Structure 1
Amino acid sequence: MLKDPSPQQFELEMVTLDELVPQNHLLRKIDATLDFSFIRDRVRHLYCADNGRPALDPVLLFKALFIGYLFGIRSERQLMREIQVNVAYRWFLGLRLTDKVPDASTISQNRRRRFTGSDIHQEIFDTVVEQAMKKRLVGGEVLYTDSTHLKANANKQRLVRQEATQSTLSYLDALDAAVEEDRQQHGKKPLTPRTSSSAAKVIKKVSTTDPESGYMVRDGKPTGFFYLDHRTVDGKHAIITDTHVTPATVHDSVPYLSRLDAQCQRFGLSPIGVGLDAGYFTAAICKGLEERGLYGVIGYRRPNKIKGYLPKRAFTYQAELNTYLCPEGQTLIYTTTDRKGYRHYRSDPEQCRHCPQLSACTRSRDQTKRLTRHVWSDAKERIDAHRLTPIGKKLYQRRKETVERSFADAKQLHGHRYARFRGLEKVREQCLLAAACQNLKKIALAMA
């Protein structure tokens, strides 16, 4: 016999909020992992001590943001609607069933006004990393670094073209010293010092909506305005130890060494090895890794060459003579070292003119083969040899299980495909909170 259900929506029930939240819920594990009360002490100086209306508890505010990042809720209005009906969210925030949920504008205005220019997001991230270190979840022996793109909140059609000065690299002083030393050894005159007026000028595309984003044009990547999240992950439990945001026009290798030093100094890390993508395979990075005594393993990218042409590896470098030897036995002699750190070598056109491999070697009008070699190429070759060793292969294989998986989880589960806000500083806050939440989840699950 089929009966209509009796109305039960208005019955009085005696329950506690704690009973309604499953014991194995993720938020329970996170709440047991970290005491968030430190946030209140870190932002106390941003509030008036004896005047004004009672403020929303900053611990509740940031824990609400954590919920949004943990469960991939990008909209703050939608986040408040979810907190309204989700008892687990209420329990995590310390709200009773009858308590009023804060308005979305309260959170957004605090984020825009009160916390703008503060380091609270960085401090939260650092505190979570320190918590992971106390629980021995950070080994600090091997660090993996890579970058991923976040689509800027900007239409790629709305842009202007502006002339800009090409950004200078952090290692220019060391490079200039190496170039001058190399030129002196070869009896060359010193180069004129660099000046601000001699910096290269470039025409770049600037978004009229978000001018701080960068117009990305890369092989296999979408085209448009993006930001890059440069992330470093520890090799033990894939705890994120650093996240750094730049416009998409900044190459991966540019901030790497400075960010590596910053996190090692901040957390007292003493790595012995690093694993990097092929995009980091530059002479400056290899030189920097050797100076720091690190066993670097960097991926390989097949160089582009014209079909039918001899590759550069077909020419043998003779270190003791500082010359190159071509496949036909001719010697390419040193000519000069340019400002960018490249030594130039050239062949004798009289010999090349009668060479049977001339058409596969060069198409220059003067029938001269030219090669270049960086002053730090020795370090580059030594680092490149690491990827072929058993230790290097094992170290690099772990990269896809750490930093690549970290980015995959961030994009799939934590809304990391798109920049929620406009401006470099706000996107940086997004990446810091997303990384902190990923670390919280890993700590909670590992300790559980």
Structure 2
Amino acid sequence: MAMTMNYCFREGIIYASLEALVPETHFVRKLDRCIDWRFIYSRVAHLYSPAGRPSIDPVILFKMLCINIVFGFNSMRRTCRECDMNVAYRWFLGIPFEEKIPDYSTWSQNYIRRYGDSDIFSQIFEYILCRIQEQGLLDLTTLFGDSTHQKASANKNKYEDVEVEVVRKIYEDELLEEINADREAHGKKPLKEARDTEYQFDEETGEEIEVEVRPTKHIKQSRTDPESGLFHKGEKERCFAYSHQTFCDRHGFVVRFKTVPGNVHDSVSFFDVYPVLSEKFKGKIQNLVLDAGYVTPAICRAVLQAGQKLYVPYKRPMTKKGFFRKYDYVYDEAYDCYICLQIKLQIKLLEYVTTNRNGYREYKSDPKDCKSCPFLSRCTQSGNHQKTVTRHIWEAYKEEVNELRYTPEWKEIYPQRKETIERVFADSKEQHNLRYTRLRGLMKNEHQVSLIFAFHNLKRMARWTQ
């Protein structure tokens, strides 16, 4: 057979429509069929002027962001290049070959002038989530929660030491009420609210007004992105970052999230999300699955009082090596005391002394008993030879949650964490640009994450329904 040489035949002309060139099985067709993208028009109409020259179609702009996130392009420049050459992307955007793809700077200018101060990003997330729920794909029986960090666009070595106010916890007032009730039950005087005040000059009225002064603490603040927080956890790299408190269902659909600075602990940012989540899906959530970082009395109480079950792993007591652990001292609920059984054939009591401002009851031993104890070096290093054990006034909620570890439901539900919320984070970091950010500022990063999780949900819906 004779050899045919047509290697350099590049002058061919294609007479075909975009519709004919894009295969029916291509993923962009599934993305296009999942939702009616025209819903964006009504959401952004108030951001556009009725007069003036025509603008870039807002649906095209958000579809370009969808391509950027779903297909993992790490910049708008690259997204524009890919859309310019790729037939399927042009079909998805509805832009024929004779027309130019919008410039990469078009989105940034539209964000600055229109979308930056709007809630369109959260509206897109909520719209896609509603479509998922309408199709019966959302299973709210069990939700899986965790937090992941996203490296900020900030040099970890460029920071300054600043003094900031300690953020008030959402349950502080309720906790103080229960502390005072507990103190009064033990014959103690109630604590006054820890409030410091000072007088400041009000420029509008010209008078001095009394304002509350919150306690302060010192933190390391980035000079590049002051709204990020210094993240340092375990063996992970110390860096400035943002954290995303996230909840998903057993199918991996994200149902709620919140972006906070990277130096906010998971147990604190939990209360930025959970109350809203619990109210929105009231009566539908039965189980909540979290990791060991969330095992605090306040969280256990909040979940159990909402009528839900909390499944968490075992958290080893944080005791100094070589010393007795807290469970070596037995709590007697009837007599409200701890019992020390370290000396054979002898029972020594640690009796209630007070309830401190943090909500912990303090139980202390008799120094005379401890002074001659052969296990004193493994018990306490206090100068007066007195052992102190603390117990939170909401500790019973925590103990109830820990008991769930021995149920068949825990063994069935908790192992699903690695297949749900951990998988959401892994996919988002590896495929959807969640590993690091080039944006600076809390609001910009929350907008970006809104789209990442929105299009993550859209991608999963496309695979589940088609």
- What range is the shorter-chain TM-score in? over 0.9
Determine whether 1:231 maps to 2:261.
Answer: no
State the TM-score, normalizing by the size of structure 2: 0.93
Q: Partner residue of 2:147? A: 147
Query: What does the per-residue CA deviation read over 1:175-224, in whole Å, with 9 as the maximum and x for residues that have no partner?
Result: 11110111110111111212155633211111111000001122222211
Shift of 1:102: 0.4
Shift of 1:112: 2.0
Give unmatched runs, 5+ long, in structure 2. Answer: 198-212
Matches within 5 A, 1:69-148: 69-148=69-148
Shift of 1:353: 1.2
Cα pair 1:149 1:227 within 8 Å, conserved: yes
Q: Partner residue of 2:284? A: 270
Query: What does the per-residue CA deviation read over 1:106-146, in whole Å, with 9 as the maximum and x for residues that have no partner?
Result: 11111122101111000000011001001101111111110
Shift of 1:6: 6.3
Cα pair 2:181 2:190 within 8 Å, conserved: no
Shift of 1:326: 0.8
Matches within 5 A, 1:295-306: 295-306=309-320
Shift of 1:98: 1.8
Letter in 1 for 2:12: E
Determine whether 1:35 maps to 2:36.
Answer: yes
Cα pair 1:130 1:267 within 8 Å, conserved: no
Shift of 1:3: 4.8
Shift of 1:388: 2.1
Cα pair 1:70 1:414 within 8 Å, conserved: yes
Distance 1:215 1:311 in 2: 31
Q: Partner residue of 1:188? A: 188
Determine whether 1:309 maps to 2:310.
Answer: no
Distance 2:329 2:450 in 1: 47
Cα pair 1:344 1:370 within 8 Å, conserved: yes
Aligned residue for 2:243, secondary structure, equals strand
Determine whether 1:280 maps to 2:281.
Answer: no
Aligned with residue 204 of structure 1, among 212, 216, 219: 219
Letter in 1 for 2:127: T
Letter in 1 for 2:223: T
Give unmatched runs, 5+ long, in structure 1. Answer: none
Shift of 1:331: 0.2
Distance 1:152 1:35 in 2: 34
Shift of 1:299: 2.1
Letter in 1 for 2:161: R
State the TM-score, normalizing by the size of structure 1: 0.97
Distance 1:205 1:364 in 2: 33
Aligned residue for 1:356, secondary structure, equals coil
Distance 2:104 2:463 in 1: 30
Distance 2:30 2:230 in 1: 41
Larger deviation, residues 297-306 vs 256-265? 256-265
Shift of 1:268: 5.7
Q: Partner residue of 1:293? A: 307
Q: Partner residue of 1:246? A: 260
Determine whether 1:354 maps to 2:354.
Answer: no
Aligned residue for 2:267, secondary structure, equals coil
Cα pair 1:387 1:396 within 8 Å, conserved: no
Shift of 1:258: 4.4
Distance 2:246 2:176 in 1: 29
Query: Structure 2 vs 1, CA of residues 76 and 267 (structure 1 numbering), >3 Å: closer, same or farther?
Result: farther
Q: Partner residue of 1:26? A: 27
Query: Structure 2 vs 1, CA of residues 297 and 158 (structure 1 numbering), >3 Å: closer, same or farther?
Result: same
Determine whether 1:256 maps to 2:270.
Answer: yes
Letter in 2 for 1:380: K
Determine whether 1:44 maps to 2:29.
Answer: no
Cα pair 1:74 1:420 within 8 Å, conserved: no
Distance 2:17 2:9 in 1: 18
Distance 1:323 1:114 in 2: 62
Number of equivalent positions: 446
Distance 1:303 1:85 in 2: 58
Distance 2:438 2:340 in 1: 55
Cα pair 1:386 1:392 within 8 Å, conserved: yes
Distance 1:9 1:108 in 2: 36
Letter in 1 for 2:48: Y
Distance 1:134 1:26 in 2: 22
Aligned residue for 1:68, secondary structure, equals helix
Letter in 1 for 2:341: P
Query: Structure 2 vs 1, CA of residues 269 and 424 (structure 1 numbering), >3 Å: closer, same or farther?
Result: farther
Distance 1:113 1:268 in 2: 38
Cα pair 1:420 1:430 within 8 Å, conserved: no
Cα pair 1:286 1:383 within 8 Å, conserved: yes
